[in-house]
Copies of this chain bind each other. A is one copy, B any other.
Amino acid sequence: MNGADPVPEPTDDIMCATYRALCRHGYAELTMQDIADEWSKSKPALHYHYDTKRGLLLAFLDHLYDAYTDRVAAPDEGTPRARLDALIDAALDPPRADAHRELRTALFEVKAQAPYDEAFRERLGRFDDYLDTEIRRVVAEGVETGTFRADIDPSTTATLLLTLVNGAHARRVALGTDGGVRAAIDDFVDDHLGEAEP
Contact = CB atoms under 8 A, between A and B. Distances in A.
Interface in A102-133: 105, 108-109, 111-112, 114-115, 121, 124-125, 128, 132
Contacts of A54: none
Oligomeric state, in number of copies? 2
A63 to B, nearest CB: 18
A132 B179 CA distance: 10
A89 B179 CA distance: 22
A157 B67 CA distance: 33
Contacts of A174: 111-112, 114, 121, 124
Dominant SS at the A interface?
helix
Interface in A159-193: 159-160, 162-171, 173-176, 178-181, 183-185, 187-188, 191-192
Given A153-B187, A170-B170, 5 more contacts: A105-B115, A112-B112, A114-B174, A124-B175, A166-B167
